[in-house]
Amino acid sequence: MSLKVGDTIPEGSFKYIPYTSELEDSVTTALSTNEWKGKKVVLFSVPGAFTPTCHANHLPGYLQNYDAFKAKGVDVIAVVAANDAFVMSGWGRFEGVKDKILTLTDTDAKWSASLGLDKDLSAAGLGHRTWRFAIVIDDLVVKYIGVEPGPGVTVSGASEVLAKL
Task: State how far the Cα of 119 lies from the Cα of 46, in Å rounded to an integer.
Answer: 11
Active site residue 159: no
Using an 8 Å Cβ cutoff, are 132 and 46 in contact? yes
Which residue in the list 3, 17, 43, 54 is annotated as catalytic?
54
Residue 165 has what DSSP assignment? -
Task: State how far the Cα of 60 lies from the Cα of 91, in Å rounded to an integer.
Answer: 11
DSSP state string for 73-124: T--EEEEEESS-HHHHHHHHHHHT-TTTSEEEE-GGGHHHHHHT-EEE-GGG
Residues involved in catalysis: 54
